[in-house]
Amino acid sequence: MMKENFCAMLVLVAILFVGAVQFCSGGNTSFSCIEREREALLKLKLCFNDSSHMLSSWKGNDCCEWRGVGCDKSSSHVVSLQLRGSISDDQHKLYLIDNNVQEVVSSLLKLRYLEHLDLSGNDFNCSLIPPFFGLMKQLRHLNLSNMHFRGRIPSELGNLTRLRVLDLSNGALEVDDHIQWISHLSSLQQLDMSRVSLSNASSNLFQVLGMLPSLSWISLSNCHLNNSHLLFGSHPLNFTFFRNVQHFDLSLNSFQGPIPIFLRNITSLTFINLSRNEFGLMVDWLGDLKRLRYLDLSWNAFVGSIPSSLGTISTLRELYLSGNKLNETIPMWIGKLLAIRKLILYSNQLRGSVPNSIGQLSELEMIDFSKNLLSGSIPNTIGQLSKLEIMDLSENQLSGSIPNSMSGSHKLSHLNLSYNNLSGPIPIGNQLQTLKDPTIYVGNPQLCGAPLMKKCLDDVLPPTTT
């Protein structure tokens, strides 16, 4: 009898304890969602075909616990919605139903404290960006990239004056000649308009963007821009703006001629991408950009030599000059780029030999000099590059033997020396032993030894014994 009572009591205590724990933990959170905002989110959910189940957790009382929903800890208001769809996988995105983008925005407008909105990668089925987006004045971060929006970007977005980050990239969007609205985004730090068609933007586009005081990151890649956008009246833009910009991407446009002079005075720049334009004239002031780390000038129409002013940018980490018509030698001063990690010079007409000074670049991880006219032998100093992972010297006219020192490049995982005039035995030992693909040596009829089938003379004749 006593025993049974005791057991019952234990059970009771256990139930109370579990209940108390549940009350304390669950209790606090289950009331933290604001009902009006929960209803707005449920309305939003109805706008989408959620066959991917991204919103399957959107049920129950506490919307702050739903996937992608972020609430402020003290006020419980919904402050962030991160509903990123997958760009590459059609199964992992939300599909707008009935092109009802108005309903999406009217639901979002009920989230009056929303600061961070990321709907990128979902499929809005070629709808227009509705002007009401401009009513979400409290937004600081807006990502509408890769959403299959189309048409004109509404100037009402200029009302989002608190925005720090705006990503409108990769839609079928365009901007007309009234672009003054962008100048109202005075808090903007990061702007991605890649693949937005700016061909009809008026010629003061760069002035408008360049006046944004906090802008530090800008991409205008693939925007149908050309030299007409670099004019101020009839003369080139030559005054200082974009004062604090660090990252500037102008790749995949139709610019021609010299590298735009306005970049010269933006000394804050750390990243410039001018790849895939038709720039043809190197300038000697690039060395003025003393903080530059990444410089991509690949796939343009540059001829002649690599400008020596680049040798003074001691911060440079990655240099891309591939796909031009550079036809001089690789300069000796290349050995001064002591911070360089990637040196990409393939598909030019560079001649002469690979300078010895390359051995000084102790941070170098990747060399691609393939598809040039380089001759002479591979310098011994290459073996000093202890961080080298990738080296492609294929399709040149290099001769002589592969230096034995190369077996000391412990990190080398990709090597290609094919289609040169190299001769003699492939060095044995250490890292080179792991590179077993014979195609990295083909096209050098006088090379011998593993992994090639051709045996070296030394292998065939037994060593003479004394």
Ligand X SMILES: *[C@@H]1O[C@H](CO)[C@@H](O)[C@H](O)[C@H]1NC(C)=O
Q: By CB under 6 A, name the binding residues for ligand X.
A: 24, 28, 49, 51, 73, 84, 87, 95, 97-99, 120-121, 125, 134, 143, 145-146, 155-156, 158-159, 165, 167, 174, 181, 190, 192, 197, 199-200, 221, 226-228, 235, 238-240, 251-252, 264-265, 273, 275-276, 294, 296, 303-304, 318, 320, 327-328, 370, 394-395, 416, 418-419, 437, 439-440
Q: How far is CA 277 from CA 130, 291, 300, in A?
A: 33, 23, 5
Instruction: Please name the helix (run of DSSP H) or strand (run of DSSP E) that holds residue 414, with its range, or none.
Output: strand 414-416
Supply the minimum distance, in Å, between the C-beta of residue 465 and ligand X: 39
Give one word for 370, left, alpha or beta, with left for phi > 0 and alpha for psi -120 to 50.
beta
- Cβ proximity to ligand X: between 95 and 359 the closer is 95
Query: What is the C-alpha separation between 48 and 53, in angstroms, rounded?
Result: 11
Supply the minimum distance, in Å, between the C-beta of residue 244 and ligand X: 14
Supply the minimum distance, in Å, between the C-beta of residue 403 and ligand X: 19
Supply the minimum distance, in Å, between the C-beta of residue 153 and ligand X: 10
- Cβ proximity to ligand X: between 8 and 46 the closer is 46
DSSP character at residue 115: -
Instruction: Report DSSP letters for 201-241, one per residue.
Output: S-TTHHHHHHT-TT--EEE-TTS---GGGGEETTEE--S--
Supply the minimum distance, in Å, between the C-beta of residue 155 and ligand X: 4
- Cβ proximity to ligand X: between 273 and 409 the closer is 273
Burial pattern 78-99, b for ≥16 Cβ within 10 A else e, equals bbbbebbbeeeeeeebbbbeee
The residues that bridge with 257 in the sheet, in sequence order, are 279
- Cβ proximity to ligand X: between 257 and 359 the closer is 257
Backbone phi, psi, residue 257, to 5°:
80, -150
- Cβ proximity to ligand X: between 159 and 216 the closer is 159
Supply the minimum distance, in Å, between the C-beta of residue 86 and ligand X: 8
Query: What is the C-alpha separation between 143 and 75, in angstroms, rounded?
Result: 24
- Cβ proximity to ligand X: between 12 and 286 the closer is 286
Instruction: Report DSSP letters for 333-359, one per residue.
Output: GGGG-TT--EEE--SS--BSPPPGGGG
Supply the minimum distance, in Å, between the C-beta of residue 200 and ligand X: 4
Token output for 62: 């506490």
- Cβ proximity to ligand X: between 123 and 334 the closer is 123
